[in-house]
């Protein structure tokens, strides 16, 4: 079995995000980058599925040279090889088309992505990939198991869960619960240096939309603490200051 895991290079969750003066780009100065946490879940699940010599795991990203340490970390965690499509990931449509161009002439049994990247949170790549590759896809899966050439995929729906039996090949966007993220050990870190990392050039993709500007959320206001023995004070503040009652 050959599994392809699509990963994103995203700012660390502890990073303070700022923008350029014209608010059209991220200010990347001093930012630390990591593998997108949902993609780490996808990678961990892929590695579990091929344990015992059952297959191989390739990681792929759309990104510039700065993303290579992120790919090397994925190799250290256990992936067999890595692919970098040499382009800035403009949006989900652009990324999905680049991935499709790579996949369409390959024999890949399963494509895993995270449910979304934590920087843009669009949750679109898995669905785009399924459509562009004419494959079944599940955008947000909570459980994934394989039996032969079929997958049992569970996802949450309003008021319950849905369990599907789907033939391979298949595209799945993984969510929390599918697997626990793995930490690379020393052996993995050393072997990652010699594992293949291939760089390929991007294809032309029509730009369907663009980001006009970024805007930071309004700073949080001050907090007033009310003693539990004074509920009337809370009612007074909600009425006179917050004006919600």
pLDDT in tens, 195-221: 999 999 999 999 888 888 888 888 887
For all residues of the chain together, what is the average pLDDT? 92
Q: Where are the domains of the chain?
A: 2-217
Assess whether pLDDT exceeds 90 at residue 27.
Answer: no
pLDDT in tens, 102-125: 999 999 999 999 999 988 888 899
What pLDDT does residue 147 have?
A: 92
Mean pLDDT of 19-26: 84
For residues 88 and 204, what is the distance between their CA atoms, to the nearest angstrom?
A: 12
Check: CB of residue 76 under 8 Å from CB of residue 187. no
pLDDT in tens, 33-69: 999 999 999 999 999 999 999 999 999 999 999 999 9
Percent of the chain with pLDDT over 90: 70
Q: Which two tokens stand for residue 9?
A: 């290079």
First to last CA, the chain: 61
Identify the CATH number of the domain defined by range 2-217. Answer: 3.40.50.620
Q: Which two tokens stand for residue 177?
A: 């619960």
What pLDDT does residue 14 have?
A: 85
Sheet of 197-200, strands arranged across: 137-141, 170-174, 110-114, 2-6, 56-62, 81-85, 197-200
pLDDT in tens, 174-183: 999 999 999 9
What pLDDT does residue 172 have?
A: 97
Q: Measured on CA atoms in the order 64, 70, 75, 78, is the torsion positive or negative?
A: negative
What pLDDT does residue 116 have?
A: 92
């Amino acid at each position: 079995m050959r599994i392809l895991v699509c990963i994103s290079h995203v700012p660390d969750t502890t990073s303070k995000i700022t923008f350029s003066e014209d608010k059209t780009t991220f200010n990347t100065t001093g930012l630390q980058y990591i593998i997108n946490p949902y993609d780490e879940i996808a990678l961990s699940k892929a590695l579990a599925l091929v344990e015992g010599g059952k297959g191989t795991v390739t990681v792929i990203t759309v990104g510039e040279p700065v993303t290579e340490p992120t790919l090397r970390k994925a190799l250290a965690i256990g992936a067999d090889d890595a692919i970098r499509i040499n382009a800035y990931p403009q949006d989900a449509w652009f990324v999905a088309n680049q991935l499709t161009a790579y996949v369409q002439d390959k024999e890949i049994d399963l494509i895993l992505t995270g449910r979304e990247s934590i920087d843009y949170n669009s949750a679109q790549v898995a669905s785009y990939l399924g459509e562009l590759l004419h494959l079944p896809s599940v955008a947000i899966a909570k459980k994934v198991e394989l039996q032969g050439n079929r997958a049992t995929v569970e996802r949450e729906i309003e008021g319950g869960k849905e369990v599907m039996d789907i033939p391979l090949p298949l595209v799945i966007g993984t969510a929390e619960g599918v697997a626990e993220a793995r930490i690379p050990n020393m052996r993995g870190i050393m072997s990652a240096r010699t594992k293949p990392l291939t760089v390929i050039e991007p294809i032309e993709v029509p730009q369907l939309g663009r980001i006009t500007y970024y805007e930071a959320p309004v700073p949080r206001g001050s907090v007033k603490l009310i003693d539990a023995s004074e509920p009337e004070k809370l009612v007074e503040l909600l009425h006179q200051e917050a004006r919600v009652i």
